[in-house]
Structure 1
Amino acid sequence: MSRYPQVCDAATAAQRAFSSFPGLHMTPREWLHITTLMAGPAEAITREQMSAMVSAARARLREVPPVPVFIEKVLYHAEAISLGVQPAQALVPLLDAVRSATRTIIGPGEASDSSPSSWIPHVTVAYSTAEQPTGPMISALGTAVPRREVTIDAVTLVVQWGPERRWDWEPVGTACCAATTGK
């Protein structure tokens, strides 16, 4: 998300609002992300397949223009607090390109198969580590942050080694959208 500083700033502001609450694990700034697709267990995908997925995604995303979206809505869930990315439907071409690239390389059975209509793009700012009432958190931040507009112009394949909250992540490669392929 470092290429999207306005998103990082919104997430940081939300995290500040929650800093006094126990039972929350804040997403480190360098690992703020929108999960597009879970390809499968890292151990089940070879380095060659990872490189091939990035190459296939690059080829497909060359046909997809960058996508203007905004974050504003705060999403409260028992497992996490996130900032919603809207309009979700605008990001479906990126999801489709990534899904197609992944399935081409590792097959249709591995990649998680949530339909675009059930996919809720979001940036998780904090994960719940304890059960607690949401009322005080909603009072601290509200249900919206100041609107931040951003243009999503790339997707990065990241390998997650071990549990998510350990943040042992490894970027493998980035695929850029049509107008940004030269960046």
Structure 2
Amino acid sequence: MSSRELASLRQRWTAYRDLAALTEHWYWRPGWRAGRHFYTWHLTFQEQPDLHRLVTDLQHQLQFPGLDLVPIDGLHLTMQGVGFTDEVPDGDIEAIVTEARQRCAGLPPLDLSLGPVDPDAEGIGLLVQPWSPVERVRTAIRAAIAAVWPTVPEPADGFRPHVTIAYSGAPAPTAPIRARLAELRHLPPVTATISEVSLIALHREHRTYRWSTQATAPLNGRGPRHAEAQAARGDQ
């Protein structure tokens, strides 16, 4: 584990030990309302049986009042927002997808470790490591947006890769949750290989996030130079 990831884990756990009650996660952020959808780039975790088993085990032991468990098919790593679907022109989103595919094509798949549990006031997540390859994908996505728009939404700084397994649904006391998490911190992490980043239309209803996938940008390490080398060799 790198020094950045280890420092984050320690700092957040220290803060959680001093936290008396959860902060309710489901307040409406600016611009959000029932039925509205938001374009955003995420990593998603279909067909990751090791991760699904770990999350199922953890959630079985985290059924406390005040925690809203994330459905297995709702596991995600938030990468980069774009904008509300009713405000982004179709031509712009198509251009951003084209740019993102070009930039992500040269990046290799992400081999990620997920775990141990990593809580804060609004939820319980899994530590993701290493951060650097995830940050490179996010930088590519931001560059794709910058190729279409003069300003990229959301700050470049402050990004912390994580996968949430439970959100805080009420200002419940943290003491019993904290005691259980202390028992669960020893569980070994699992690995997942992610070969694409997804543009999704996200909405939030009934205290959960759901989405439809609009496009994907493969991560296959095959940028323009790779294609040129294949053509030179006569590869199909």
Band the TM-score falls in, shorter-chain normalisation = 0.7 to 0.9
Is residue 2:180 matched to residue 1:140?
A: yes
Q: CA deviation at 1:96?
A: 0.8
CA distance in 1, matches of 2:161, 2:212: 21
Contact 2:110–2:134, Cα closer than 8 Å, also in 1:
yes
Matches within 5 A, 1:78-157: 78-109=121-152, 111-115=153-157, 118-141=158-181, 142-157=184-199
Amino acid aligned to 1:127: Y
Contact 1:83–1:125, Cα closer than 8 Å, also in 2:
yes
CA distance in 1, matches of 2:65, 2:101: 41
Q: Provide the aligned length of Structure 1 versus Structure 2.
A: 177
Residues 94-133 of structure 1: per-residue CA shift (max 9 Å, x gap): 1111111122234424x21132xx3211111111011123
Residues 1:29 and 1:75: Cα distance change in structure 2 (over 3 Å): same
Between the two proteins, what is the percent identity of the paired residues? 29
What RMSD in Å do the two structures reach over aligned CA positions? 2.2
Is residue 2:99 matched to residue 1:59?
A: no
Residues 30-51 of structure 1: per-residue CA shift (max 9 Å, x gap): 1210001112223221333223
CA distance in 1, matches of 2:77, 2:55: 12
Q: CA deviation at 1:25?
A: 1.3
Tell me the SS of whatever aligns to 1:72.
strand
The match for 1:25 among 68, 76, 79 is 68
Instruction: Give me the TM-score of the superposition, normalised by structure 1.
Output: 0.85
The match for 1:16 among 41, 60, 65 is 60
Is residue 2:40 matched to residue 1:7?
A: no
Structure 1: 5+ residue stretches without partners: none
Instruction: Give me the TM-score of the superposition, normalised by structure 2.
Output: 0.67
Residues 1:103 and 1:6: Cα distance change in structure 2 (over 3 Å): farther
CA distance in 2, matches of 1:37, 1:52: 16
CA distance in 2, matches of 1:106, 1:24: 38
Tell me the SS of whatever aligns to 2:172.
coil
**Runs of 4+ off more than 4 Å:** none
Q: Which residue of 1 aligns with 2:213?
A: 171
- Indicate the structure (1 or 2) with the bigger Cα radius of gyration: 2
CA distance in 2, matches of 1:150, 1:42: 30
Structure 2: 5+ residue stretches without partners: 1-44, 224-236
CA distance in 1, matches of 2:117, 2:67: 15
